[in-house]
Amino acid sequence: MKTTIDYSDKTEREAISDVLFYIGFNHFKKVVREISKYTDNEETRKSFMIGLEFAGVEGYPAKAMLNRYLKGEIK
């Protein structure tokens, strides 16, 4: 993804939409399916952040995806 996008005035939904268009619908579905299997905790977040970075998704869009699709509250 472009690293020059300013997300200070964008919503979480807009950031997730950017991820969808960047990695494509089929890959997005696979990533969301995998993320939603896990409970939200620090270790899970670190692991998925690294994985998303390898796919070219980092910063606020990656955090927005984890906020939306990880189960439960961060522990």
Q: Tell me the per-residue pLDDT of 46-73, one tens digit each, with 9 for 90 and over.
A: 999 999 999 999 999 999 999 999 987 6
Positive/negative CA dihedral, 34, 35, 38, 43:
positive
0.75 exceeded by pTM: yes
Structural domain boundaries in the chain = 12-69
Which residue matches tokens 């952040």?
49
Structure tokens at 49: 């952040």
Question: How does the average pLDDT of the chain come out, rounded?
Answer: 91
> Can you list the alpha helix ranges (DSSP code H) found in the chain?
12-23, 25-35, 42-54, 60-69
